[in-house]
A and B are shown apart, each in its own frame.
Chain A
Amino acid sequence: MRRSMLIRRLMATTLPAALLMGSVTSTALAEPMYGRNWSTYGLPGGIDTPTAETLPDGTLGATVSWSDYGRRSSVVFQAFPRLTTVLRYSRVDGINDYRNDGYISDRSFDLRFQVLDEQGWRPAVAVGLQDFMGTGVYSGEYIVATKTVTPSVRVSAGIGWGTLAGKPRTIDARDEGGTPNVDDWFRGDAKPFASVSWQVNDKLSLVAEYSNETYQTFYSDRSEPAQQGDEEPGSNLNLAAYYQLGRNYQVGLYTIGGETFGAQFTVALNPREATYPSGLEKAPAPVRPRPAPSADPEGWSGQWAQDPTAQPAIQTALGDAMAKEGQVLESMALTGNRAEVRIRNQRYINQSEAIGRTARLMTRALPPSVETLVITSTADGVPTSSVTLRRSDVERLENTEAGQIAAASVLSDAPASAPGLVRSPETYPRFQWALKPYVDLGIFSAEDGLTHEVGAEARASYEIAPGLILTGALRQRAFGDISQRGPGIPGQRGEHYTAEEYLADPSLETTPEGLPRVRSDTRMYTGNSDPVIPELTLAWYAKPTPTVYTRVTTGLLERAYGGVSGEVLWKPVNSPLAFGAEINRVKKRDFDQLFDFRDYEVTMGHVSAYYEFADGFTAQLDVGKYLAGDKGATLTLTREFANGWRIGAYATKTDLSAEEFGEGSFDKGVTLSIPLGWATGQPSRERVTTTLRSLSRDGGAQLNVNGRLYDRVRDSHSVKLYEGWGRFWR
């Protein structure tokens, strides 16, 4: 009973029907008040002022806004239907910090929560925190209400504190930033603001607003406020025109106070709006129903199973057919009435599609007496779960609602081996290689702005036996402006040691606070004009019990560390809870990224708890010792969609003080992962993955070893499998 409820819940979509119907429907239906244009801060809003609008749940957007006051690059994510989050990287012109560049670079983070949605006469109401963790150049809070007056006109009015009231917060020149400034919230003078937006037609909207923003900055060590840009806005009135280009882009022109002009560009994607939602993969081979017993008495009797040539012939044919659909038949056990196949899915983002296609191919390949079909998924040569189906159910339910076959199937833990399993010939050893260009981009660096490096990478893997994999990569830089450089000089912010200085004095590899430089000298590993070896490892994956997975990886584990990494994970197939432990003995690699090591060596690791909540949220808590020997914990929250989109945020706090840690106070970041197939429609397990992290610091630094178990095992476990089960008959 419980299980079928779980299946139903996981397979239920929250997508409004209107979205599915696309342009067919008029939008006359009452739908949430979604923002129609983007503010200079990268949220739905007026120009500088906020509104109570939201974005469609899950929307991911990026806005770049330029004016004489500076440039703001914002990434927005609608994390929940009512919660909008923004990460911003700004260049604020006209003011100076210790770098004396004529501008400052600033990171900021916003949250906006829609307390009430619009209903009848009641306006939508939202509360927001702007720049509530950074050094505070944009720091302010607001309460705002937005009301639809006519279908094309919306009016917003609110009350703001801090920057929004023209009373910017004083910035502590010595503060490391990165912690919430709770004492300041909703304090000081408050002033009203208002905006009105008019949707002229499908594409054009016009906005006017009344804003109190003065574009000034107060520093604790200066008596006079510093003016951003050239001068204060000429008036409180700002005007803008926004133009929508298709579904995903918007451009805007605006004036702040009538004398300062600006332009902006926004791109927004919603994981729910794929161009080809069902994918462009070729149609699956249909089910082949069995002939009547009278038409094939021999096949139905099961006597064929006595023939020793039967299984090899069937296994070869099935393996060839599966290869055409992007899968590897690793091994097979066959008796008169039961067949188990162990498969490796190399093409489909949802494991259910691999399982559904395999089930159909089995109906085409197996003699009629075989009624029980067991499809065991594997990852890195290790079985992860088994789906057991009755062949008659596959025949009966082909091309029906996917929930029916889900209810008729059984999902169970897969033991490491099963009686009668015969490995397919020529599956091991397996050699694969690829030669690709690579692009490294530094985007959110305060020191350097946008940096890049381009080159070629050769990558090969050799699977000696199931679970035993040799992997290597070789990179050659072609060009770029990410050069080798030492870490920042303590006490002289903005200045760096040269590579030569850093190499000449080994004592520099420890910070004045006594912390080994485990990540802050990351730039020493860049700028190599000779080939480098980012990774060269031998990994062994195994499964001592049906619910316990293990990994041992040894070699050059990542760019900066080599050694041995061991991991164990307990994850029953139907459990949303999992536990893991990892221990690593690693040594710091030399900066040429070949086979030499530096002096620093550490034993570190952590214990982990994982939990899969309903509705696509997962949480991971790691507690342990980090690369620099500091002890602490990392909490990661991830939202993932059945189509494979993943957006997560993490924070690490260790026993280092904010001063020992340095700028940012503690490590935090955002990870994005978008399946390539979502964008192209072509089936692929490839992903575009990026991490936006605050800064390379030594505290809370994790080892970047490849092949961690949890995400590999989970693809075929209950939550993710049933979430993606809609692709079974694809």
Chain B
Amino acid sequence: MTTARNFALATAMLGALAACSGGSHQGEGDQGGVFGALGQVAGQVVAERRGGGEAPAETAAPKSPQEAAAEALRVNQGPLIQAGFESLNRTQVMAMTGQNGALRTYMTPAEEALILRGGMLVGTRGLGNDLSVAEPQTEGLIRAGASGSGQRVMRYFSGDGLERPLQFACTVGAGPNPGVIVENCEGHGATFQNSYMVQGGQIAVSRQWIGPALGYVTIQTLRP
């Protein structure tokens, strides 16, 4: 893995050798604020139809997750979550940038995205080893706080450039801590355990498995 990165690094440096270039195709790097591209699309194209508020401004000094959450809540009027990516060792506030039915897309300032359906992780974008889409049959059980079992299909974009489904057999039941629903899944020689705190059918706090490379993300709703 590390050597693959080294190779990637070496090739990147090759690319960086390219000293300079110009022309009308330069599209990146000029957005000052957050969600530059998205904000501008929404702002310019359909200004009158745009709901929600402005995204939180990027800040210079590192903050504790609590400080970051507090500031985001102050600056941004829209729905917010706080996501802790365990394997990446970082916690970030993510703001909702789009809603399509029950699907909500939340993004970090660097435009990495989590796609959630009522708190259930459906996909990730921009993280390099993304989950394309999750199709959990267990979703109804989890929301209802019931016990049972079901299949969970997780689709990934694999190294050969194709989307590939992995199937897991999952059981859902009450966890050791009160109010926590636990989903245990097994398949392809791997096991993982998702935990959910459900309030009124919505998953308010959870720890969910993204995939083999990214591991778990903990998701906390700051503002629904």
Contacts and interface: CB of A to CB of B under 8 A. Distances in A.
A413 B165 CA distance: 31
Overall SS of chain A's interface: loop
A287 B213 CA distance: 27
A324 B27 contact: yes
A616 to B, nearest CB: 9
A436 B160 contact: no
Contacts of B20: 434-435
A464 interface: no
A278 B188 contact: no
Interface stretch (A105-113, A393-401, A505-513, A586-594): A393-401
Most buried by B among A22, A361, A688: A22
B199 interface: no
Interface stretch (A23-31, A168-176, A216-224, A491-499): A23-31
Interface stretch (B62-70, B94-102, B169-177): B94-102
Given A246-B3, A435-B19, A401 B129 contact: no
Contacts of B161: 350, 641-644, 723-724, 726-727
A688 B100 CA distance: 39
Interface string A10-49: 0111110111111111101100000000000000000000
A19 B128 contact: no
Nearest to A323: B27
B8 interface: yes
Interface stretch (B43-51, B53-61, B71-79, B137-145): B43-51
B132 A726 contact: yes
Contacts of A726: 132, 157, 161-163
A546 interface: no
Contacts of A275: 1, 4-5, 7-8, 128
A67 to B, nearest CB: 25
A641 B105 CA distance: 30
A17 B125 CA distance: 21
A321 B45 contact: yes
Interface in A674-730: 676, 679-682, 684, 686, 688, 723-724, 726-727, 729-730
Nearest to A17: B188
Contact of A433 (B22, B36, B110, B190): B22
Contact of A272 (B107, B112, B159): B159
B122 interface: yes
A321 B188 CA distance: 41
B120 interface: no
Contacts of B14: 676, 688
B83 to A, nearest CB: 13
Contacts of A684: 15
B4 A273 contact: yes
A259 B113 CA distance: 60
Nearest to B27: A323
B166 interface: yes
A277 B49 contact: no
Contact of A686 (B3, B15, B36, B188): B15
B158 interface: yes
B130 interface: yes
A283 interface: yes
A503 interface: no
Interface stretch (A86-94, A312-320, A556-564): A312-320
A671 interface: no
A327 B97 CA distance: 21
A730 B162 CA distance: 12
B21 A277 contact: no
A478 interface: no
Given A277-B158, A283-B126, A288 B18 contact: no
B155 A21 contact: no
Contacts of A361: 41
Interface string A509-553: 000000000000000000000000000000000000000000000
Contact of B162 (A13, A282, A434): A13
B7 A401 contact: no
B97 to A, nearest CB: 6
Nearest to A13: B162
Contact of B212 (A24, A270, A285): A24
B98 A287 contact: yes
A629 interface: no
Nearest to B47: A317
Nearest to B134: A399
B23 A433 contact: yes
Contacts, number: 266
A444 to B, nearest CB: 21
Interface in A272-320: 272-289, 291, 296, 314, 316-318, 320
Contacts of A346: 25
Contacts of A17: 164, 166, 188
B11 A688 contact: yes
Interface string B1-43: 1111111100110110111111111011001000011101110
B58 to A, nearest CB: 14
B180 interface: no
Contacts of A323: 27
Contacts of A24: 188-190, 212
Contacts of B21: 432-436
B144 to A, nearest CB: 23
A324 B36 contact: yes
A274 B158 CA distance: 8
A598 interface: no
B37 A430 contact: no
Contacts of A11: 162-163
Contact of A681 (B3, B128, B190, B212): B128
B156 interface: yes
A730 B132 CA distance: 8
Contact of A15 (B4, B8, B158): B158
Most buried by A among B12, B31, B160: B160
B146 interface: no
A271 interface: yes
Nearest to B192: A24
B123 interface: yes
B37 A282 contact: yes
B1 A246 contact: yes
A500 B2 CA distance: 52
A20 B156 CA distance: 8
Contacts of A286: 97-100, 103, 105, 113, 115
Interface in A314-362: 314, 316-318, 320-321, 323-326, 328, 346, 350, 361
Contacts of A246: 1-4, 6
A86 to B, nearest CB: 22
A676 B16 CA distance: 11
Contacts of A403: 163
A18 B31 CA distance: 41
Nearest to A640: B161
B12 to A, nearest CB: 5
A351 to B, nearest CB: 12
B133 interface: yes
A427 B25 CA distance: 10
7 contacts: A17-B164, A275-B7, A278-B157, A436-B19, A679-B7, A680-B12, A729-B123
Given A278-B156, A399-B123, 14 more contacts: A21-B189, A26-B189, A247-B3, A275-B7, A277-B129, A277-B159, A279-B157, A320-B44, A321-B37, A399-B133, A435-B20, A436-B17, A727-B161, A730-B132
Q: Which 5 A-B pairs have the closest CB atoms?
A: A246-B3, A286-B98, A642-B161, A432-B23, A643-B161
